[in-house]
Structure 1
């Protein structure tokens, strides 16, 4: 064998295709320049992703033959879109073997309906089980809330509704007819809808009734309808993300395992079972502080009390102190709090800890959050007069005590600030079962202070370990820590 022979190319073509299929599509296409044998391997990738966001301005065909012509404005855009869609069609026409999944991302479908429908038809003929159609624009995220019928740029072709092998469907900015899901819905296990209109309260009910095997449902940035009613005995994961017009959410899902909600505080009516594993509540989208939100969130927490893992945002910590009745005790073993570690969150944190007696791991994601200081003052709630001694004044028998089973405390975004020290000292002082502190530094200062804390704990034979992760993701251990400490 020659010393510089490419051994990788000696592998069977089936293995090479497997290797190429593990790469992002942009990198997979680039392998075509390696050797003659690799030129068309990428076309055999079973998972077809045609994404204009990864598609560079073409320099072939028309562009090469007319290099002296300056393409501007709409002409340039037209040619680029033409080459993009032709690229997809050639890919699907090249091979005839089945493709497990087909994904198309294209922000201007209005003038290309025929080509897009041809792409979809070819994908279905190749027995795809996963279909993703995304016609949204990246800029939309920055302009929320958006609610306009023009956001639905493309109608799902009629022939798709009669396809009988689809297990996963994702429609983004793609109008659909919920009363036509009788056939396609029989095999669907996963449905994702984003930037689409939910026309009326019965839309989701009809959709779910047509999908007897559905396990995953995601509704993101949907609009129009104000009341969502979601009933399913098979649904395992439900995601509701920034649905702008939503006012009430009713869920009856006795098989639900994972629930994630991001948006405004609405009227919640939720029935789940002990199967619930994860509940993630993000109210970072809230733009106005309302006192009544406290009672609504407490009722929501009570409904989700079976969850083994609970994730909550800063707003929850701010409204809890305004409620006369605290949340019922939950069954969470893992608790994650997204917080600014502001004094106005302290009492809410202590209330939540007191409601989580079974917690074994607590994580604080320290970051920037809106603190409604003026609004809370309007309702008569002020920060502790001496915030740095707040946790010291809490004794184990008082509200906010450290759960007896707590083993791990983690701060993500550790900055080495007084409020962080004060909070940690409370866990160290009253954490009977505490075994580990994990400090993930947000900056160089936080990193250096965390290393000093680790070194101090080791020198004093603390009953717990301190793990430090730098802002670059490096874990400091042993002599490496000591060397860094000596430098600072």
Structure 2
């Protein structure tokens, strides 16, 4: 039997398997983990300490700062995490999700958006606090590589020089404060838009949807405030209206500019209709 000292010496000579993993393997492992766990890997070894800083896909939500003995204000915790992220991250970020809907107030994220706009962001989801509407900076419209954009509980307005999101494929706006004119302009300046989700419960002005590549359209809220003007490729439509009955809508008129339409789902608080 090997003496204790010899066993201890042998263990000290065994290579650290984690430290000898190739960089590309470490990157694959980190990509498979939730962002919180990916950051925690920094304690494994010196080689792993800053590997998470090169992740191209990140999700920040309350799981990063909520604990059972939570004595520090969540907003303050989020600011600390955001500062560490901005100061340590290297390289491009293609996908980023920020979900802070349960914070009492929205922290300053303008610098965050500026950082993303300079790092090739393609998929951006911002789900901001319910209680206080946050005005997004015009920097958002500098994200020229965007392909997927999801915004919840915020206010937006684009600058007059905005030329559009040339690569945007999907757009989701939920409880977003935006004028009818700006919404029309935003949609019409996304020539490749294929998927559109809107929650416009409080809109009164009619919004014309001009999206020649659109294939899927989900609308919640005031259905009568939308006019499908130029959607020749539209295949699937989901309408969820408040207290609107199917017999009150002239479907032939509403969808006369949708020659490719195959599936129509209509729901209201009074009744539900499934038309295919």
Using the TM superposition, give the Cα deviation of residue 255 of structure 1 relative to its aligned residue in structure 2, in angstroms: 1.4
Using the TM superposition, give the Cα deviation of residue 206 of structure 1 relative to its aligned residue in structure 2, in angstroms: 1.9
Are 2:187 and 1:208 equivalent residues in the alignment? Answer: yes
Match of 1:18 in 2: 28
Question: What TM-score, normalized by structure 2, do the two folds share?
Answer: 0.76
Given that 1:162 and 1:183 are in contact with CA atoms closer than 8 Å, whether structure 2 keeps it comes out as: no
Given that 1:197 and 1:225 are in contact with CA atoms closer than 8 Å, whether structure 2 keeps it comes out as: no
Question: What TM-score, normalized by structure 1, do the two folds share?
Answer: 0.46
Unaligned segments of structure 1, at least 5 residues: 64-70, 138-150, 290-314, 318-326, 331-488
What is the SS of the residue equivalent to 1:218? strand
Using the TM superposition, give the Cα deviation of residue 280 of structure 1 relative to its aligned residue in structure 2, in angstroms: 5.7
Q: 1:184 to 1:160 in 2, by over 3 A?
A: farther
Task: Kindly report the root-mean-square deviation, in angstroms, between the aligned alpha carbons of the 2 structures.
Answer: 3.4
Q: 1:246 to 1:103 in 2, by over 3 A?
A: same
Post-superposition Cα deviations, 1:123-163, rounded to whole Å, max 9, x if no partner, equal 222221222221144xxxxxxxxxxxxx6611121233244
What is the SS of the residue equivalent to 1:233? coil
Unaligned segments of structure 2, at least 5 residues: 1-9
CA distance in 2, matches of 1:206, 1:52: 34
Using the TM superposition, give the Cα deviation of residue 233 of structure 1 relative to its aligned residue in structure 2, in angstroms: 0.7
Post-superposition Cα deviations, 1:227-250, rounded to whole Å, max 9, x if no partner, equal 44322211122222x32x443543
Q: Give runs of aligned pairs for residues 229-378 of structure 1, distance below 5 A.
A: 229-240=208-219, 242-243=220-221, 245-251=222-228, 252-264=230-242, 265=244, 267=249, 268=251, 269-270=254-255, 271-274=257-260, 276=261, 279=263, 281=265, 283=267, 286-288=268-270, 315-316=272-273
Given that 1:204 and 1:230 are in contact with CA atoms closer than 8 Å, whether structure 2 keeps it comes out as: no
Larger relative contact order (C-alpha < 8 A, sep ≥ 6)?
2
Q: 1:287 to 1:214 in 2, by over 3 A?
A: closer
Q: How many residues align?
A: 256
Using the TM superposition, give the Cα deviation of residue 6 of structure 1 relative to its aligned residue in structure 2, in angstroms: 6.3
Write 1 or 2 for the structure with the bigger share of strand.
Answer: 2
Match of 2:7 in 1: none
Match of 1:185 in 2: 165
Residue of 109, 112, 118 corresponding to 1:125: 118
Given that 1:53 and 1:105 are in contact with CA atoms closer than 8 Å, whether structure 2 keeps it comes out as: no
Match of 1:47 in 2: 57
Using the TM superposition, give the Cα deviation of residue 221 of structure 1 relative to its aligned residue in structure 2, in angstroms: 5.6
CA distance in 2, matches of 1:56, 1:204: 36
Given that 2:95 and 2:122 are in contact with CA atoms closer than 8 Å, whether structure 1 keeps it comes out as: yes
Query: Greater Rg, structure 1 or structure 2?
Result: 1
Using the TM superposition, give the Cα deviation of residue 195 of structure 1 relative to its aligned residue in structure 2, in angstroms: 1.0
CA distance in 1, matches of 2:30, 2:79: 22
Using the TM superposition, give the Cα deviation of residue 97 of structure 1 relative to its aligned residue in structure 2, in angstroms: 0.8
Using the TM superposition, give the Cα deviation of residue 117 of structure 1 relative to its aligned residue in structure 2, in angstroms: 0.9
CA distance in 1, matches of 2:113, 2:104: 13
Given that 1:105 and 1:133 are in contact with CA atoms closer than 8 Å, whether structure 2 keeps it comes out as: yes
Write 1 or 2 for the structure with the bigger share of helix.
Answer: 1
CA distance in 2, matches of 1:231, 1:111: 33
